[in-house]
């Protein structure tokens, strides 16, 4: 395959850094654009020396003029803790940031992929969720900056397609976890593992009966790359996630058994609009992309626990 110039917005974040590594491994030139709001250069420490990698500090809410062939548009904080800290900036990032990246794609004739989210389904009343479901989203709640921002980003992608025939791809990503999440990220997998490693009780929000389906990051990145390489007529939206569904109580039990530091759980109030259940229907991803997750929770958690163990050890030495 000839060398492709690929822009990854949000490439210093959790998913972005794994994607960048995969694209470099395949021999591509990669431009990372990130404002380091929730990501960091440290996530790319092992590839910083690679001459095919360029990292630019830039906020996608401002225009960007570069020459590229493909754009993976991932820039946007994904953890509720981070996206709720500056909610107006979160909406701007999804809406204005997408307009800028679509304008860039239009000028350069680049293919452009949006990392949308299962949050477009809100607190779903259809289970499992397939792509035809329009969702159940509160437009004025504390999660709305993220949910409605991504819904508007999807609208923009499809309007640029209808108006300008842009080669768009929209992935709806379900809860993804793995190495390179921040210890203070605030999402459930990292919170539970970090608490257990520190010998502190795991914080369960609500009664722990709410469900999520967790996808290991390597599988997810494989799905994103497959989607980018589909023909022009394939736009998505397409669900990417692992259909195995767990309650937060079950997740806590698994982490406690795996880390084995004798910790228990502690109950905290459930944040408002927290979805009660979530499971992807991945029929389309199986059929269109020939994709399904390979790494199950026990294996992915083991890898992630090892990562955080090393991170926390390095922090305590430093």
Site residues for ligand NAD per CB under 6 A: 9-10, 12-16, 34-39, 59-61, 74-78, 82, 93, 97, 115, 117, 173, 175-176
Residue 213, C-beta contacts closer than 8 angstroms, at least 6 positions apart: 174, 175, 241, 242, 243, 244, 245, 246, 278, 279, 280
Q: Which of 146, 177, 267, 307 is catalytic?
A: 146
Q: Does residue number 212 form part of the binding site for ligand UDP (CB under 6 A)?
A: yes
Catalytic residue check, 146: yes
Contact 221, 22 (CB under 8 A): yes
When CB distances to ligand UDP are compared, the closest residue is 103
Counting Cα atoms < 13 Å in the Cβ hemisphere of 92 gives: 9
Contact 194, 183 (CB under 8 A): yes
> Omega of the bond prior to 63 within 30 degrees of 0, cis?
no
Which does residue 284 touch among ligand UDP, ligand NAD, none (CB within 5 to 8 A, set by kind)?
Answer: none
- Tell me 143's DSSP state: T
Q: Which residue lies nearer to ligand NAD by CB, 97 or 263?
A: 97
Residue 22, C-beta contacts closer than 8 angstroms, at least 6 positions apart: 221, 225
How far apart are CB 76 and ligand NAD at their closest, in Å?
Answer: 4
Which does residue 204 touch among ligand UDP, ligand NAD, none (CB within 5 to 8 A, set by kind)?
Answer: ligand UDP
Footprint of ligand UDP on 102-161 (CB under 6 A): 103-104, 106-107
Which does residue 210 touch among ligand UDP, ligand NAD, none (CB within 5 to 8 A, set by kind)?
Answer: ligand UDP
How far apart are CB 222 and ligand NAD at their closest, in Å?
Answer: 15
Q: Does residue number 80 form part of the binding site for ligand UDP (CB under 6 A)?
A: yes
Taking CB under 6 A as the binding criterion, the range among 62-70, 149-157, 258-266, 308-316 that sits at the site for ligand UDP is: 62-70
Q: Does residue number 35 form part of the binding site for ligand UDP (CB under 6 A)?
A: no
Among 20, 197, 204, 240, binds ligand UDP (CB under 6 A): 204
Chain centroid, CA 20 distance in Å: 14
Q: Which residue lies nearer to ligand UDP by CB, 21 or 72?
A: 72
Find the radius of gyration of the CA atoms of the chain.
Answer: 19
Q: Does residue number 279 form part of the binding site for ligand UDP (CB under 6 A)?
A: no
d(CA 82, CA 187) in angstroms, rounded, equals: 10
Q: Does residue number 196 form part of the binding site for ligand UDP (CB under 6 A)?
A: no
Which does residue 15 touch among ligand UDP, ligand NAD, none (CB within 5 to 8 A, set by kind)?
Answer: ligand NAD
How far apart are CB 17 and ligand UDP at their closest, in Å?
Answer: 18
Among 38, 176, 210, 242, binds ligand UDP (CB under 6 A): 210
The neighbour count for residue 14, using CB atoms within 10 Å, is 24
For 47, counting Cβ atoms within 10 Å of its Cβ (0-12 exposed, 13-18 middle, 19+ buried), the class is middle
Q: Which residue lies nearer to ligand NAD by CB, 14 or 121?
A: 14
- Tell me 280's DSSP state: B
Residue 124, C-beta contacts closer than 8 angstroms, at least 6 positions apart: 133, 135, 136, 275, 277, 278
Q: Which residue lies nearer to ligand NAD by CB, 42 or 257?
A: 42
Outline where the chain has alpha helix (H): 14-25, 80-83, 87-108, 144-164, 188-198, 217-228, 248-259, 283-284, 297-317
> With helix as H, strand as E and coil as C, how does 161-188 read?
HHHHCCCEEEEEECCEECCCCCCCCCCH
For ligand UDP, the binding residues (CB under 6 A) are 63-65, 80, 99-100, 103-104, 106-107, 175, 187-188, 191, 203-205, 210, 212, 248, 271, 274
Q: Which residues are part of the catalytic machinery?
A: 146
């Amino acid at each position: 395959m000839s060398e492709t110039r690929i822009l990854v917005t949000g490439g210093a974040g959790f998913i972005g850094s794994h994607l960048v590594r995969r694209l470099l491994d395949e021999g591509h030139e990669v431009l990372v654009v990130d404002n380091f709001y929730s990501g960091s250069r440290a996530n790319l420490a092992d590839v910083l020396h690679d001459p095919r990698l360029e990292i630019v500090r830039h906020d996608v809410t401002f225009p960007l003029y570069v020459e590229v062939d493909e754009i993976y548009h991932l820039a946007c904080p994904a953890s509720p803790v981070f996206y709720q800290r500056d909610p107006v900036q979160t909406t701007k990032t999804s809406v204005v940031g997408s307009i800028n990246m679509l304008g860039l794609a239009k000028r350069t004739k680049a293919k452009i992929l949006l990392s949308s989210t299962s949050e477009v389904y809100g607190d779903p009343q259809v289970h499992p969720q397939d792509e035809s479901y329009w969702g159940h989203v509160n437009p004025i709640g504390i999660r709305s900056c993220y949910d409605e921002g991504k819904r508007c980003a999807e609208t923009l992608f499809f309007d640029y397609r209808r108006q300008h025939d842009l080669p768009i791809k929209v992935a709806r990503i379900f809860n993804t976890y793995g190495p390179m999440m921040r210890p203070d990220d605030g999402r459930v997998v990292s919170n539970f593992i970090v608490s257990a490693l520190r010998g502190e009780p795991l914080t369960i929000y609500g009664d722990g009966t709410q469900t999520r389906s967790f996808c290991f990051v390597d599988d997810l990145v494989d799905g994103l790359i497959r989607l980018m390489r589909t023909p022009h007529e394939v736009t998505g939206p397409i669900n990417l996630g692992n259909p195995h569904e767990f309650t937060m109580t079950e997740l806590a039990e698994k982490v406690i058994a795996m880390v084995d530091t004798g910790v228990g759980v502690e109950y905290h109030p459930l944040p408002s609009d927290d979805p009660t259940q979530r499971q992807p229907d991945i029929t389309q991803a199986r059929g269109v992309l020939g994709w399904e997750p390979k790494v199950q929770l026990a294996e992915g958690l083991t890898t992630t626990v090892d990562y955080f163990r090393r991170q926390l050890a390095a922090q305590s030495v430093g």
